[in-house]
A and B are shown apart, each in its own frame.
Chain A
């Protein structure tokens, strides 16, 4: 309907964004009716999201003719921003920003570097930045989930953890079941995406490639490639972040720092 009413592409885009935002706001209103207050966080997230993506789109436009190293600089900045966003999900965890940033850099950064070196990701800025950002964004979500889950697991099992410590266990042994649980839980979205690929959803990248004239089979295979890279980046990020945070929730005398109410 919108396409028939609006002719300019920019105007159409704004109208489409408005319609999609209305759908999101409708959910917020429904939630509010049930006593769940998402309005503040949802509105801020939507405004931030549209401003950020339009800004990045504009920067990409400028960078089309920029040298390749600017792509690396842009991805590094994204990693720092992802670290900051992700750390907010780990409120109360010691050193969460540094742990998150290093983990995303190790997880997403190393997968991007190796895949670019192998030629799986084109090193041209218009390919490196969007594909790289997909890996970073997913690594960010996984890291946030892992730290958030680990925090709640530790806080609800301080008795078991301190019992293990009191029996002479090493700090890492005392939290091992909760670290493993957090790692597994954080990877559920990435595993489900791979599992349901093509059946439940046809991801945006494939749709974009088809629209820009790529052969459907290549577009499909490349979509699998991207999801496999996302899984690798997310898995490595979660592995590193849970390992790094595990060392920070204990003192050097193997005392649990993270305690309910502290």
Chain B
């Protein structure tokens, strides 16, 4: 996936300014920078939840504006800061994505996904009864149910306590390694960026300040 001169301005306010970078298959790239640097705005441009005002993204060599948005978003799975689970059970949440394409996710696949995020036997539980960490893990499983090629993670541990934070970090490591997923993770936590990513893009005021190996970028 390659972002080329990507930018977004809303009512004369520049959120992302002329950003270009590439992320290769199986790589974990951290988007780092202070609050308001444009990290989340950039992530929303990558799966086209917002429209770039300049530039574009090439996904598997194709300008992403040529790909139907729903198909693009299925391939670029996103996990946000808060899990935003839909009312109902864990099982219904996991089946949501495949159902949008007219597919019924088999019960065995639901169990397999839950096992992957360490929530075996949770399928029938109402989401209202889950803890913060459990809800975020269900959110991961729900995204994985779409079999994405790229994972876009928007500060996935920022609303969690320390114990849940470590669980979710471990989960990201495991999933990315096992499924050889490409991953772009937004974080303002330097230590977390070092634990999760190989390379980092440092942003400030919507612009790229540095790109390179995570330690070099964050400790320069």
Contact = CB atoms under 8 A, between A and B. Distances in A.
Q: Are A and B genuine complex partners? A: yes
A184 interface: no
A169 B100 contact: yes
Interface in B65-124: 65, 69-71, 73-74, 77-78, 80, 82, 84, 86, 96-97, 100-101
Nearest to A251: B51
A173 B69 CA distance: 14
A169 B74 CA distance: 9
A168 B48 contact: no
A170 B74 CA distance: 12
A190 to B, nearest CB: 27
Q: How many interface residues does chain A have, given as a range?
A: 10 to 19
Contact of B82 (A159, A165, A166, A254): A159
Contacts of B97: 167-168
B187 interface: no
Contacts of A160: 84, 86
B56 interface: no
A167 B100 contact: yes
B70 A255 contact: no
A168 B72 CA distance: 8
A5 interface: no
Contact of B47 (A166, A169, A251): A166
Contacts of A165: 49, 73
B73 A167 contact: yes
A169 B70 contact: yes
A72 B48 CA distance: 48
Nearest to B48: A253
Interface string A190-228: 000000000000000000000000000000000000000
A170 B80 CA distance: 19
A168 B84 contact: no
B47 A253 contact: no
A258 to B, nearest CB: 13
B189 interface: no
B67 to A, nearest CB: 10
Interface in B39-56: 47-51
Given A162-B49, A173-B100, A253-B51, A168 B73 contact: yes
B191 interface: no
A251 B53 CA distance: 14
A262 interface: yes
A173 B71 CA distance: 15
A167 B95 CA distance: 10
A256 B69 CA distance: 13
A69 B59 CA distance: 61
Contacts of A166: 47, 49, 73, 77-78, 80
A253 B69 contact: yes
A262 B73 contact: no
A11 interface: no
Contact of B74 (A163, A168, A253, A262): A168
Given A160-B84, A164-B86, 11 more contacts: A159-B82, A162-B49, A163-B80, A167-B143, A168-B74, A168-B100, A169-B100, A170-B100, A253-B48, A255-B48, A256-B49
Interface of A: 159-160, 162-170, 173, 251, 253-256, 262
In the A-B complex, the 3 residue pairs with the smallest Cβ-Cβ separation, listed nearest first, are A168-B74, A163-B84, A166-B78
